[in-house]
Structure 1
Amino acid sequence: MTSQLLHLSTEAPFQCLSLTGELQRFVQVHGERDGAVVVSTQHTTTAVIVNELEERLLLDLQQWLRQLAPPTAAWKHNDLELRPGIPDDEPRNAHAHLQALLLGHQTTVAVSNGALQLGRYQDVILVELDGPRQRRVSLQWLSA
């Protein structure tokens, strides 16, 4: 199996970054004609989704996530004084963990004849939920 680790920098608390170009390059360099690419985030406050990378839809996504897991709610994970052994710079980010659970940490994209099998409006997207930060995304080739 072939794999690659992407290193990305996010610039905002909520941000959506297209990974599709990186997947295409990965398939061209490491892939075969047919198979699949597994895309996984290595963080509990990011997600990987397949959807349309359209500005107004992304604003709707952000609003929807805030409604389901608002940053200002009284989440137990944010009771930092009750959690032993945490770093001094630990953020109050329970909402980001919960939002990531809603979206998921991984997706698989089929490859046929060397091309990603994505629809016209589909992008593979890293969703930052607790940025800005340095992030890692794993790409793994699966042979057919």
Structure 2
Amino acid sequence: MRVSDVRVETGERYQLISITGEVRRAVREAGVEDGFCVISSTHTTAAVTVNEDADRDVPRDLAAACRAFLNALDVRFDHAEGNSDSHLLTSLFGPSQSLLVRNGEPDLGRWQGIFLAEFDGPRTRTVRVAIGEA
């Protein structure tokens, strides 16, 4: 198994940033034709998700929906750092995604891309990409 890190700079509190190109590059550099790829956030306030990457409005819409979702909750967060909303969203989205590798590429659908979902930005984030053979 080969593991590499992708560094991501975020600029907003809630933001989805495509890392599809970086993950594709990591898979190609690993030289695995058929296998698996795990993409994992090393943070408790940032997640990894797969969604549409063809229309730039989708990541912005998802970030806006996260804000609206949190605003609609009738809950008081007591965490001293003031970012329990970020921990909640990360738990809902999940810290990682697993993909098949086929013909030396992440097995994504036509419109799919891989995103770091930032919920406590702006920050510098690390996404770990592990590629192995089946």
Aligned to 1:20: 20
Query: In structure 2, the residue corresponding to 1:62 is in which secondary structure?
Result: helix
Partner Cα separation in structure 2 for residue 30 and residue 18 of structure 1: 20
**How far off its partner does 1:71 sit?**
9.6
**How far off its partner does 1:116 sit?**
1.7
Q: Which moved more, 1:1-10 or 1:54-63?
A: 54-63
Tell me how large the CA RMSD over aligned residues is: 1.8
Give per-residue Cα distances to partners, 1:16-73, cap 9 Å, x unaligned: 1111111111111113110011000000111100001333323332233224333995
**What is the one-letter code of the residue matched to 2:97?**
T
Partner Cα separation in structure 1 for residue 116 and residue 99 of structure 2: 14
Q: Percent identity?
A: 36
**What is the one-letter code of the residue matched to 2:16?**
C
Contact 1:40 1:48 in 2 (8 A): yes
Q: How many residues align?
A: 132
Partner Cα separation in structure 1 for residue 21 and residue 65 of structure 2: 27
Q: Give runs of aligned pairs for residues 1-144 of structure 1, distance below 5 A.
A: 1-53=1-53, 54-70=55-71, 73-77=75-79, 80=80, 91-144=81-134
Query: In structure 2, the residue corresponding to 1:51 is in which secondary structure?
Result: strand
Partner Cα separation in structure 1 for residue 78 and residue 14 of structure 2: 22
**Structure 2 unmatched runs, 5+:** none
Structure 1 segments, 4+ long, off by >3 Å, are 70-73
Provide the TM-score with structure 1 as the length reference.
Answer: 0.83
**How far off its partner does 1:92 sit?**
0.9
**How far off its partner does 1:12 sit?**
1.1
Query: In structure 1, the residue corresponding to 2:88 is in which secondary structure?
Result: helix
